[in-house]
Amino acid sequence: MLASIVLLPFVGFLANGIWYLTAQVKGGKSISARNSGVLATASIAGSFVLSLALFIRLIGLAEEERVFETVLFPWIQVGALDISFALRMDALNALFALVITGVGTLIHVFSIGYMDHDESPAKFFAYLNLFCSFMLVLVLGASLPVLFLGWEGVGLCSYLLISFWYTDPEKASAGKKAFVVNRVGDFGFLIGMFLIFTTFGTLDFAALKAAFATVAVAPGIVTAMGLLLFVGCMGKSAQLPLFVWLPDAMAGPTPVSALIHAATMVTSGVYLLARMSFLYAATPDALSVIAGVGAATALFAASIALVQNDIKKVLAYSTVSQLGLMFLACGVGAYATGVFHVITHAFFKALLFLSAGSVIHGMHEEQDIQKMGGLRSKMPQTFFVFGAGWLAICGIPPFSGFFSKDEILWQAFSSSHGGTLVWAIGSLTALLTAFYMSRLFILTFLGKGRTDKAAHAHESPWVMLIPLQILAVLSITGGFMGVPHASWLEHWLHPVLAHAPELRAGVHHETEWFLMGFSVVVAAAGIAGAFFLYRDKRAADNLAARFRSIHTVLLQKWYVDEFYEAAIVKPVARFSSFLWKTFDVKGIDRVVLGFGSFAGQSGTLARTLQTGSTQLYTFLILVGFASIVGYTLYGIFR
């Protein structure tokens, strides 16, 4: 049954893929979005039903028996290395499997409507199914290498789906950028695996956990392991400094942004930290780095989101920022809280992206919020569900985002790994989040339509609206699984995660209620600020003009892409050209060819030079040696 969860979407991929290719070969009409979409949806929905069944069986088991395992086949077995292709479901990844298949199913349904006018929906659904299959391998894999197979597999699907409309060079580039930047992270992941294997002799999670409890390892080595794996997370979960691919990834179709670049794949890093929490619990240094990177990313990305005008770009930076909050939670040792925010974020961010998709659909592919406005009356259903997502991400009680974000801020403040600074950064991020999300909401839905397109926008069909409504319900109610002091989620995850850290000295439980009130005030202030500023759009534009330099820096995303271009991409290209044209062709190859012509000419020369004088011979040897060296250097520096 566990294997079927992974296999069902894979079968869906094969079916749609083969169907698509046969249609291509025959050159006939393309397969409709409805036919291919229903097939793909059925396979992922089946996977959801199976996940749910296993989840219910897990609930029925005693705490310590909550594990299902299946070994599919032996994968790589060489010497001491023994990697089986094994899946293992426990309390932690059962939740992830539910989110992936559940939200995944809704997004598949939505796509049937969204991809209706596309040229090759069958290809799209094949990729989407393949993604789900790899994503499930990622979370259900019983060892680091199997997780890594899923990890790279979802990266591939992300690449394929970002560049889905590949005739646009920008979209093709965005896909490649995502893959290559992720490879930078994978580089760390790989080295981390090597270090872990040579230290513990295994890469299986359960065996590692057991070995970690018995084998004594120097703290520096544990920190190195933790940080190396975290480099992988920086790539996959778009943290500083490797976040640059995610905003570009918005080039993909919007359901892809919702599924891959908001709800599931980008949270893999948080899953990995939670999975390895037994290791991270032993390395406060690595945790501090993670908390620091998370906090910095959260604030940094939120600052960019303040001024973006592309509806998807705002949501993309918002995702980077929210992922930062999740890492902040893990970094202060509150893994359950990080997972909590993964789940609520999956609900409300998938909702926001899909509603944005509905808006883009209704606006005939327009994504600039400057050109929207007044959609409340044109798209009332979308307006309503987007509103639910908006209040959830702002952190207004009792919407889901309130509970998880509040929990993160409390943990940041109270944990012995946390402190006032990370709490303050988190709260500031929350303030900015409420502001930019309200700005997005106001500019899109309120006021009057600012263009013809906005005036003629149409509501989306029911096949797109129903998934939105279900996600809206989840975004509103999802937080109740983690009500403070009565958290079902924390209780559920307690046996599988490293235990929550101690309270910081001088922090009392009563403070929690005060901070909770404070975070509501922060959210309300952000919303109120946006409403005040954007009650008249011209006033806001004037303000932007007055602080033009700051506004431009934010609009240009702190010039990070430009910096990478100038500091890494261009120098590497220049260096490569030098290696090729100068060092390789004019250097090494000249010496080689020199040997060749030397052999030919030496015969003729040798006859005339045979004088018998040893001094002359020595001298000539020196001259020869010097000329070879000189010839090479000349070739290089010419």
Partner 1 sequence: MAFSGNLLSWLVFAPFIWGLAGLLIPARNPSWTKYWALGGTIVAFLLSVVVYLQFDATSAAFQLQESVSWIPSLGVSYKLGLDGISLWLVMLTTFLCPLVILGAFEAVEKKHKGFFFLLLALESAMLGTFLATDAFLFYVFWEALLIPMYFLVGIWGGKDRIFAAMKFFIYTMAGSLLMLVAIFYLAYQFNVQSGMGISTSLFDLYTVKVPGDGYLSAQSLLFLAFALAFMIKVPLFPLHTWLPDAHVQAPTAGSVILAGVLLKMGGYGLIRFALPLFPDAVRLYQWPALVLGTIAISYGALIALVQTDIKKLVAYSSVSHMGYVVLGIFSLNAAGMSGAIYQMLAHGISTSGLFLVVGMIYERRHTREISAFGGLAKVMPLFAVAFLIIVLSSAALPGTNGFVGEFLILLGLWQTAPVLAVFSALGVILGAFYLLWMFQRVMYGKVNGEENAQLKDLSTREILVLVPLIVAIFWMGMAPGFWFSKMQPSVDALVSKYQASAVAELRKVSP
CA–CA distances in Å: residue 354 to residues 209, 255, 361 = 39, 6, 10
User: Among 307, 330, 499, which Cα is nearest to 422's?
Assistant: 330
In angstroms, give the least distance from the CB of 464 to partner 1. 28
Q: Least distance to partner 1 from the beta carbon of 139, Å?
A: 16
Structure tokens, 281: 């619990």
Instruction: Say which amino acid occupies 543.
Output: L
Collapsing DSSP to helix, strand or coil, 306 comes out as coil
Nearest to 273, CA basis, from 328, 204, 210, 203:
328
For residue 39, CA distances in Å to 34, 44, 135, 396, 596 come to 9, 9, 19, 38, 65
Is residue 187 a contact residue for partner 1 (CB under 8 A)?
yes
Q: Which is nearer to partner 1, 171 or 312 (CB)?
A: 171
Least Å from the CB of residue 361 to partner 1? 24
Residue 207 found at the interface with partner 1 (CB under 8 A): no
Instruction: Name the residue among 188, 189, 191, 208 with its Cα closest to residue 200.
Output: 208
Among 588, 622, 623, 633, binds partner 1 (CB under 8 A): 588
> How many contiguous H segments (helices) and E segments (strands) does the chain have?
29, 2
Pair 444, 373: CB distance under 8 Å: yes
Pick 224 or 334: Cβ nearer partner 1: 224
x/- track of binding to partner 1 for residues 10-29 (CB under 8 A): -----------x--xx----
In whole angstroms, what is the distance from residue 491 CA to residue 60 CA?
15
Q: Report if residue 511 touches partner 1, rule: CB under 8 A.
A: no
Complex with partner 1: residue 215 or 616, whichever CB lies closer: 215
CA distances, 469 to each of 155, 458, 473, 554 (Å)? 29, 18, 6, 34
Shortest Cβ 117–partner 1 spacing (Å): 18
Query: Toward partner 1, which CB reaches closer, 174 or 476?
Result: 174
70: three-class secondary structure by DSSP? strand
Q: Minimal distance in Å, beta carbon 251 to partner 1?
A: 12
Min CB(580)–partner 1 separation in Å: 4
* 371 is a contact residue toward partner 1 (CB under 8 A): no
Structure token digits, residue 236: 């996959």
Q: By CB under 8 A, is residue 241 in contact with partner 1? A: no
CB 392 within 8 A of CB 402: yes
Identify which range of 193-201, 356-364, 369-377, 393-401 contacts partner 1 by CB under 8 A: 193-201
Residue of 28, 169, 506, 603 that binds partner 1 (CB under 8 A): 169
Find the part of the chain contacting partner 1 (CB under 8 A) among 325-333, 343-351, 359-367, 585-593: 585-593
- Say which residue the tokens 């790589």 belong to: 76
All residues at 6 or more sequence positions from 444 whose CB lies less than 8 Å from its CB, including other chains: 311, 359, 369, 372, 373, 375, 386
| Other Cβ atoms within 10 Å of 40 Cβ, number | 32
Q: Using CB under 8 A, which of the segments 52-60, 174-182, 472-480, 551-559 binds partner 1? A: 174-182
Nearer residue to partner 1 within complex by CB, 221 or 483: 221
The span of 171-179, 315-323, 433-441, 492-500 binding partner 1 (CB under 8 A) equals: 171-179
For Cα atoms 53, 54, 55, give the angle at the middle one, nearest 5 degrees: 90
Rounded to whole angstroms, the maximal C-alpha distance in the chain is: 104
Q: Give the binding range for partner 1 (CB under 8 A) out of 181-189, 297-305, 488-496, 531-539.
A: 181-189
- Based on the shown chain and the rule CB under 8 A, indicate whether residue 584 belongs to the binding site for partner 1: yes
Of the two residues 27 and 506, which places its CB atom closer to partner 1 in the complex? 27
**Smaller CB separation from partner 1, 197 or 531:** 197
Other Cβ atoms closer than 10 A to 79: 5
Q: Does 199 bind partner 1 (CB under 8 A)?
A: yes
Among 71, 198, 559, 602, binds partner 1 (CB under 8 A): 198
Tell me the C-alpha distance between 454 and 444, whole Å.
9
Q: Which of 55, 68, 197, 558 binds partner 1 (CB under 8 A)?
A: 197
* 318 within 8 A of 337, measured Cβ to Cβ: no
Query: Is the CB of residue 305 less than 8 Å from the CB of residue 314?
Result: yes
The sign one gets for the Cα dihedral 395, 399, 404, 410 is positive
Binding string, residues 116-155; x marks residues near partner 1 by CB under 8 A: -----------------------------x--xx--xx--
Residue from 62, 505, 545, 592 in contact with partner 1 (CB under 8 A): 592
How many binding residues for partner 1 (CB under 8 A)? 59
| Buried-exposed string 415-438: b where 16+ CB fall within 10 A, e elsewhere | bebbbeebbebbbbbbbbbbbbbb
Scanning residues 61 to 90, which ones bind partner 1 (CB under 8 A)? 73-81, 85
Angstrom distance (rounded) from CA 114 to CA 264: 20
Using CB under 8 A as the binding rule, whether residue 596 contacts partner 1 is answered as yes
- What is the closest distance, in whole angstroms, from the C-beta atom of residue 286 to partner 1 in the complex? 17
What span, in angstroms and rounded, lies between the C-alpha atoms of 266 and 256?
12
User: Binding to partner 1 by residue 573, rule CB under 8 A?
Assistant: yes
CA-to-CA dists, residue 106 to 102, 131, 222, 347, angstroms:
7, 15, 40, 11
Residue 84 or 469: the one with the smaller Cβ distance to partner 1 is 84
Token pair in block for residue 422: 């990370």
Indicate whether 191 belongs to the interface with partner 1 (CB under 8 A): yes
CA distances from 349 to 102, 132, 172, 329, 401 (A): 14, 18, 25, 18, 10
Stretch that binds partner 1, among 173-181, 329-337, 371-379, 605-613 (CB under 8 A): 173-181
Decide whether 208 or 369 has the Cβ nearer to partner 1. 208
> Tokens 């770009």 identify what position?
313
- Judged by CB under 8 A, does residue 603 bind partner 1? no
> What span, in angstroms and rounded, lies between the C-alpha atoms of 417 and 154?
32
Q: State the minimum distance, in angstroms, from the CB of residue 147 to partner 1.
A: 10
**Contact pick of 49, 567, 568, 572 for partner 1 (by CB under 8 A):** 572
Quick check: 520 binds partner 1 (CB under 8 A)? no
Residue 329 phi, psi (nearest 5)? -60, -50
Q: Shortest Cβ distance from residue 24 to partner 1 (Å)?
A: 4
Residues 213-232 that bind partner 1 (CB under 8 A): 217-218, 221
Smallest gap from Cβ 418 to partner 1, in A, equals 30
Using the rule CB under 8 A, give the single segment among 177-185, 298-306, 432-440, 604-612 that binds partner 1: 177-185
Name the one residue in this structure whose structure tokens are 């001024």: 307
Q: Which residues would be at the binding site for partner 1 (CB under 8 A)?
A: 21, 24-25, 73-81, 85, 145, 148-149, 152-153, 156, 159, 163, 166-169, 172-173, 175-176, 179-180, 183-184, 186-187, 190-191, 194-195, 197-199, 217-218, 221, 572-573, 575-577, 579-580, 584-585, 588-589, 592-593, 596
